[in-house]
Structure 1
Amino acid sequence: MATNTDFFDYLADHLLILIISSLPFKDAARTTTLSKRWHDLWRSTKIVEFKESFFTRQSHASDEDNETSRLRFIDFMSHWIQNFRGVELDNFHISFLNPENFLEHIALAIRFATSHQVRKLEIDFSDPCWDSEDVHHLQTHVSSFDLPIFVYQLGFLESLKLSFCNVQALEFTNLRALKHLSLAYIDLSSSSLKSLISHLPSLENLSLKRCQKKEAIDIYSMSLQTLVIDKCTNFYDNWIAITAPNLHFFKYCGTALTFHFERMSSLQEADFDFALENEYAEMGDCLYFLLHDLDRVKFLTVCSYFLQIIFSGIEPMGLRYPLVVQHLTLKTALHANEFHGIAYMLNICHLLEILSIDLIPAMIFSDYEPPFPLTPYRFWIEEIDYQCLTTTLKRIEIKGFRGRPNEFQLLRYLLKHGVLLETLKIDVSREGDMETYVQNAQNLLNFEKASSCLEISIS
């Protein structure tokens, strides 16, 4: 029987290059050991990744060793570029910490990519450790790299990801084929962002991560389909305005703000995480009007802050008109402070089919004041009629289950009243005593169930 290597020997070089181009860059490099024929084929790969982390980033290494590794990385990159045998590139990714001593090498590497008609370009000078830093401390980091002017001339570029480099918003006028743009750790004014977006008629996906803002965010785009705003801080004006008639997906993580949505009739999925809030604030009215603007959303995710604050809005009993949400995800600690918010969401989602509960640590506010008298252990005993439980809800998913009293109380209520329930999927927490959590979950099998066709899975 022929070996795999023998089988590949029958394939033409251009087919082998296609196979190599489907592999991560490090795996493509390993193909050089397969045979003499394979030794140089990877130098024609269409996917190139130059990551400093391939050579350094060992926590126990000395500064001297790390600097030696950085020089090895630069030498490897320069040598590989000189020996490239391909014609075009699909993807090019370069990531490098503190590039100020190697700016010329970095610029030459980017020039190499652009000269080979690269379609997807990623340039990253951020430190992975920054993801765990307080967002307000990020302003102490100052980028030393200016995006080369020739990058702005790439009329064929389809995807651009930039992290911790300086950009000129007014130079984006020629990137008319750009569909995907990701900006991280970049200082942008509201006017610069608005100007940048206005020059990108094909833009479909926009991601802003930890970008330092000087004013409110104001986004206007006729082509935008997905938008992610992740922990962008330093707002002087506490609001975000979005006009995007073709936007399907919106995700926001940061402090609680006022949202102004216009012409958002295509929005199908929204995710709001106000985990950066560390103080109780009367934002209920803002959240109430936000829900009003989500009248066509079918997939909705809300956080613990949302659940604790929403009742303090204009209508603590719910919206004037119900939402059309079919899949609701609650990121919650299932603390008693969140009970009224959970009930609020169940009450306004008349068409709910799937309820997902992600049990996570959350900021619980000690100055929380419930809208009505709250007796936690009796809250889910009350015979309250939520329309979705008797007409639409078919599936419940809970992640991070441990078997705490509040978890049992809510699930007992849902099982007792979920007439059409078909599935209850329990994923126990991976932290702590998993065996005990599984045993706790098995107690659910003995709970009263309104549905005769309910299946319970535990993993």
Structure 2
Amino acid sequence: MDCPQLSSKCPRHSATSDDNCDLDYISNLHDDILIQILDKLPMEEAVDTSLLSKRWKDIWRYKKKVELGYQWVQRTGKKVLPSLFKIFRALREQNIHSISVSLRYDLSMLTEIQSLIAYASVKNVEELYIDFNDRNDRRSRWRRRYISVLIPECELSQCSSLVKLSLKSLQLETLPPRFEALRELFLERVKLAEDSLENITNNCPSLALLSLTNCNPNADLKVIIGANSNLRCLVIREELSEVQKMTELCIRATNVKAIEFALALPRKAYQIEGTLVCSEATFRLNQMHRSRQAMRVTSLGINGKFTKNFLGLLRTLRAAEVLTLSSWCIQVLSIEVVKLQQPPIFEVRHLILETGLIRWEFRGIAYMLLGCYKLENLLIVMGAPAELKFEYMENVKYYGITMSFGKILQDLTIVEFRNYSGNYQTWDGDDFNEIQFFAGFEFGSLLVWNLKTYATGLKKLVFTTGKKRFETSQFEGFGDLFSFTHLDYCQLPCVYRSAEYRGYHR
């Protein structure tokens, strides 16, 4: 890390200024390392280090990261923006890597905000984070408010160095065509007009990642990406508690190569217009299980709300070559198996499943494996399953014949299981124990058995923990099924039953 030399008033060692200097190992570290340490501290704590000794007096002035928010107000009693500009003057005029400010909603701050953005442009700031309505500010009760911010083009440097911009709680029409280097844009709780995102993506030629979190929470959201945009990744993050249920989301993003839906799908409808040539799709809907209406299984049958949004998007994106599904999504697919809905034909070659490997996820896993005829790589990321209630369905007995499927997993060559949370994280040499690896994941061995049985071209099994990795091309000793008494019900082609099954026989 390049760093300007410290002032002669701040000597590298200060043996005479500290009675405990022999124990002060941190102060003896190189300047670059000390500045890296200070960059990980809030600004108010970094400034406090100036009181430690002469050695530390001026080191904080060389911080590359400046972060101010409500904690600064609590500690100093001073306002954020005036303090920020004083800090800029004290930072020895060197370039700053990132600036992060969290502000209390105040219409009078617009002029200072424009000056801040202009400063970031001139001083080669690479990352800028601004929250215009800080939820952590407890001086008054927080409520949703959006300040309208206009970024004046005339005050920006022609060649801005800004590569990452994060804006929260504002009303934004567009960004001026001056952010030539901007690669990542994060918008959270932002009100956008129908053509805002189209204008932004057209004005930012280097933009590769656009992340939208709870944007337009009370209105429809149109995500239109400019036809000439180079955007490659689009992330939609929405919470059940933040976004109104009667709103809709529409996406038109022809050139986007990767799309991710995270947290939840709370809106009434999700629509993808036109042709989306997307090679990677991700569904991490870990918040959906918190809604009682998302999916319920009762003695009267299966009721679902929001599940149609996920299933519709999944079918629309079935041409993606890389697909990631979280636990809730897998359990929704298990319900599709219960309803005798066959999977569509997926073009997926690399499948990532984040699963608890429990009974009610095995059918959803089978759904995907039966539908992915071109699958080459399978990654199972093991973790806690979604907290859905299936007590009634757990007592169901299954009758009938199996459905007919064509070739299954003929192209699958590599399967990896990752378990970062289990107790079994390491082993001696090649003395790997499959039973201990799958402890707490009851259907792990069953899945291994199915994979080695039906994936005739399988070349490698990989087991990864947080500390170690085990690979094998010898599968004979894996997939022990001594605990499964009804193996005919547990084979991949047998998870579907005939119409007789619809009666929920006990």
Same fold (TM over 0.5): yes
Kindly indicate whether residue 166 of structure 2 is the aligned counterpart of residue 166 of structure 1: no
Kindly indicate whether residue 416 of structure 2 is the aligned counterpart of residue 416 of structure 1: no
Q: 1:114 to 1:416 in 2, by over 3 A?
A: closer
Which residue identity does 1:416 align to in structure 2? W
Kindly indicate whether residue 408 of structure 2 is the aligned counterpart of residue 387 of structure 1: yes
Distance (Å, rounded) in 2 between the aligned partners of 1:408 and 1:160: 41
Distance (Å, rounded) in 2 between the aligned partners of 1:162 and 1:329: 32
Which residue identity does 1:211 align to in structure 2? C
Kindly indicate whether residue 137 of structure 2 is the aligned counterpart of residue 113 of structure 1: no
Match of residue 248 from structure 2: 238
Match of residue 141 from structure 1: 144
Kindly indicate whether residue 328 of structure 2 is the aligned counterpart of residue 304 of structure 1: yes
Which residue identity does 2:383 align to in structure 1? D
Secondary structure at the residue paired with 1:173?
Answer: coil
Report the alpha carbon displacement of residue 231 of structure 1 after superposing the two structures with TM: 0.5
Report which stretch shifted further, 305-314 or 177-186: 305-314
Q: Pairwise CA RMSD of aligned residues?
A: 4.9
Report if the CA contact (8 A) 1:219-1:243 is conserved. yes
Distance (Å, rounded) in 2 between the aligned partners of 1:202 and 1:272: 27
Report if the CA contact (8 A) 2:210-2:235 is conserved. yes
Cα-to-partner distance string for 1:151-193 (whole Å, 9 max, x where unaligned):
9735413321111133232x53333432211111112233323
Match of residue 452 from structure 1: 476
Q: 1:262 to 1:357 in 2, by over 3 A?
A: farther
Match of residue 185 from structure 1: 189
Distance (Å, rounded) in 2 between the aligned partners of 1:118 and 1:102: 21
Structure 2 gaps of 5+ residues are 1-10, 14-29, 295-303, 424-435, 453-457, 467-473, 481-506
Report if the CA contact (8 A) 1:216-1:240 is conserved. yes
1:242-391 matched pairs, under 5 angstroms: 242-255=252-265, 257-260=269-272, 262-265=274-277, 267-273=279-285, 275-276=287-288, 278-279=293-294, 280-281=304-305, 287=311, 290-291=314-315, 293-305=317-329, 307-308=331-332, 311=336, 316-319=341-344, 321-331=345-355, 334=358, 336=360, 338-350=361-373, 351=375, 352-364=377-389, 375=397, 387-388=408-409, 391=412
Report which stretch shifted further, 262-271 or 206-215: 262-271
Match of residue 60 from structure 1: none
1:206 aligned to 210, 227, 233, which one? 210
Distance (Å, rounded) in 1 between the aligned partners of 2:111 and 2:383: 47
Q: 1:414 to 1:18 in 2, by over 3 A?
A: closer
Distance (Å, rounded) in 1 between the aligned partners of 2:306 and 2:245: 18
Report if the CA contact (8 A) 1:25-1:48 is conserved. no
Which residue identity does 2:66 align to in structure 1? V
Match of residue 70 from structure 2: 52
Q: 1:290 to 1:25 in 2, by over 3 A?
A: closer
Cα-to-partner distance string for 1:334-369 (whole Å, 9 max, x where unaligned):
463x4532321121234243222332333448999x
Report the alpha carbon displacement of residue 209 of structure 1 after superposing the two structures with TM: 0.9
Report if the CA contact (8 A) 2:128-2:165 is conserved. yes
Report the alpha carbon displacement of residue 142 of structure 1 after superposing the two structures with TM: 0.8
Q: 1:151 to 1:23 in 2, by over 3 A?
A: farther
Secondary structure at the residue paired with 2:187?
Answer: strand
Cα-to-partner distance string for 1:257-316 (whole Å, 9 max, x where unaligned):
434265544523523427346331485597266335332322422441463257289982
Distance (Å, rounded) in 2 between the aligned partners of 1:454 and 1:218: 47
Distance (Å, rounded) in 1 between the aligned partners of 2:359 and 2:134: 35
Distance (Å, rounded) in 1 between the aligned partners of 2:98 and 2:362: 47
Distance (Å, rounded) in 1 between the aligned partners of 2:465 and 2:213: 32
State the identity as a percent. 18
Distance (Å, rounded) in 2 between the aligned partners of 1:149 and 1:366: 59
Q: 1:389 to 1:129 in 2, by over 3 A?
A: farther
Distance (Å, rounded) in 2 between the aligned partners of 1:332 and 1:35: 52
Kindly indicate whether residue 41 of structure 2 is the aligned counterpart of residue 26 of structure 1: yes
- The structure whose residues are more often helix, as a share, is 1
Report the alpha carbon displacement of residue 397 of structure 1 after superposing the two structures with TM: 2.9
**Normalised TM-score (structure 1):** 0.67
Secondary structure at the residue paired with 2:383?
Answer: strand
Report the alpha carbon displacement of residue 82 of structure 1 after superposing the two structures with TM: 3.2
Distance (Å, rounded) in 1 between the aligned partners of 2:198 and 2:356: 34
Distance (Å, rounded) in 1 between the aligned partners of 2:349 and 2:449: 22
Report the alpha carbon displacement of residue 210 of structure 1 after superposing the two structures with TM: 1.4
Match of residue 436 from structure 1: none
Q: 1:273 to 1:362 in 2, by over 3 A?
A: same
Distance (Å, rounded) in 2 between the aligned partners of 1:241 and 1:197: 14
Which residue identity does 1:122 align to in structure 2? Y
Q: 1:111 to 1:285 in 2, by over 3 A?
A: closer
Report the alpha carbon displacement of residue 426 of structure 1 after superposing the two structures with TM: 7.0
Match of residue 220 from structure 2: 215
Match of residue 153 from structure 1: 156
Q: 1:266 to 1:141 in 2, by over 3 A?
A: closer
Distance (Å, rounded) in 2 between the aligned partners of 1:408 and 1:89: 48
Secondary structure at the residue paired with 2:170?
Answer: coil
Structure 1 gaps of 5+ residues are 7-14, 57-65, 131-137, 428-449
Which residue identity does 2:270 align to in structure 1? T
